[in-house]
Chains A and B, each alone.
Chain A
Amino acid sequence: MAGIPLFQLFISEDEVMSLRESIENKDIALIDILDVILDKGVAIKADLVISIAGVDLVYLDLRLLIASVESLVQAQEGNRKTISSEQFDSQREELSHATGQPNKWKD
């Protein structure tokens, strides 16, 4: 999957810049994008499995995303280990705290 082009970067209107234009028109793989937009880049194990090393976040929410990606990694490695209920609880608390919402999951 990593090699499949998935996205086309924008097209230049400048016809003089042929070399540049030809590169701009090339397809960009998802993995190229992830390596740029995720803070620490991506380190791939197999079949586009992502592990993110210490993503530096301005604010909390990405941690939830990371948790889900990590779970995906483990699932794909055939070593499924979903997030423990304690981890879920602590993330839920963080999220409720951060958003100022009433905690719906209060036991």
Chain B
Amino acid sequence: MGGLIYLYGLIPTKEATNQSFPTLKGFDGEGDLYTIHIGKITAAVCDLDAENYSEESIKDRINDDMEWLQEKAFHHHETVVNLSKIFTIIPLKFCTLYKNLNSLETAVQSKESKLMSSFDLISGNEEWNLKIYCDDQLLKKQVSQSNPTIEAKREEISQMPKGKQFFEKKKLDKLIESQLEEEKNKISEQIHLHLREFALKGNVKKNWGNDVTGRKDNMTWNGVYLIPESKIEVFLEQLQHYEKSMQKAGWQFEATGPWPAYHFSSFS
């Protein structure tokens, strides 16, 4: 019977041998996590019975998968976070499985130098996420009022015959809409560039739609930052400053962290 190996993360062997490894329940809720030393790198893993990943059980899961996914996603996250509190860790993505020890060892060995420089990069730094939201209606008002061309155009339209007004208003709306998007991007990007000054690295992710966020305002920025521990407080203070000065204009800032360095330590 083949047993699978679930890989949570990679730790420098130096750290793994210096500190005791915590007792943490594995993916199936039965076995515990354990470590496998592969030269300078130590893998934090658990065993997974291949039998439980048969088509049959997966078929069953399809019916109530959300629950399963939620439970297992939390488990993965919680486990990696727990480890990241003790060790420098390169976190692995959800459900990274190896069919046997040999395949895991080969994968780690072939990337040893890349992994070692990843440890150097993330050690002493933290990953933080920032999502910026904007109330389009509020900003739209500002854009259309503060723009003299738009104001003049509006005045001009009001003097036109009704039939013509309709089409001209449509055109004007389009103009305001595109200026709004431009304005939102410009402001978000300025903030991003400013915040990056406090970070080692900063990446931009895709914005989520309102159906995901369940919010009325729109996500205009989704960024991840790798920040030196000593600069986190300043980074957050900058955010707070933005929040205070821009809130009335319809802007919201949501920071989460620290996250294990998922975005800055790729193993793939």
Q: Which residues of A contact B (CB under 8 A)?
A: 2-3, 6-7, 9-10, 17, 19-20, 23-24, 26, 28, 30-39, 41-48, 50, 55-62, 64-65, 67-69, 71-72, 82-83, 88, 91-92, 95, 98-101, 104-105
B201 within 8 A of A: no
A61 touches B97 (CB 8 A): yes
A10 shortest CB reach to chain B, Å:
6
Chain A contacts for B129, CB-based, 8 A: 32, 36
Is B96 on the interface with A (CB-CB < 8 A)?
Answer: yes
Chain B positions within 8 Å of A, measured between CB atoms, are 1-2, 4, 7, 50, 53-55, 58-59, 61-62, 65-66, 69-70, 73-74, 76-78, 81-82, 85, 91-99, 103, 107, 129, 205-206, 208-209, 211-215, 232-233, 236-237, 240, 255-259, 262-263, 267-268
Q: How far is the CA of A60 from the CA of B103 in the complex (A)?
A: 12
Partner of A44, one of B55, B96, B209: B209
Pick 13 A–B contacts, CB within 8 A, sort by A.
Answer: A2-B214, A7-B77, A10-B81, A10-B82, A28-B256, A30-B70, A33-B73, A33-B74, A37-B94, A58-B7, A59-B96, A99-B53, A100-B2
Complex Cα distance, B76 from A32, in Å, reads: 13
CA A36 – CA B59 in complex, angstroms? Answer: 26
Closest chain-A Cβ to B153's Cβ sits at a distance in Å of 37
Contacts of B53 in A (CB 8 A): 61, 64, 95, 99
Asked if A48 and B66 sit within 8 Å, CB to CB, the answer is yes
Please give, as numbers and ranges, the residues of chain B lying within 8 Å of A30 by CB-CB distance.
Answer: 70, 73-74
Is the pair A3, B214 in contact by a Cβ cutoff of 8 Å?
yes
A3 to B215, CA, bound (A): 8
Cross-interface CB contact of A45 among B66, B103, B211, cutoff 8 Å: B211
7 additional A-B pairs beyond A19-B240, A48-B212, beta carbons within 8 Å, are A2-B214, A9-B256, A10-B85, A38-B93, A72-B62, A95-B50, A100-B99
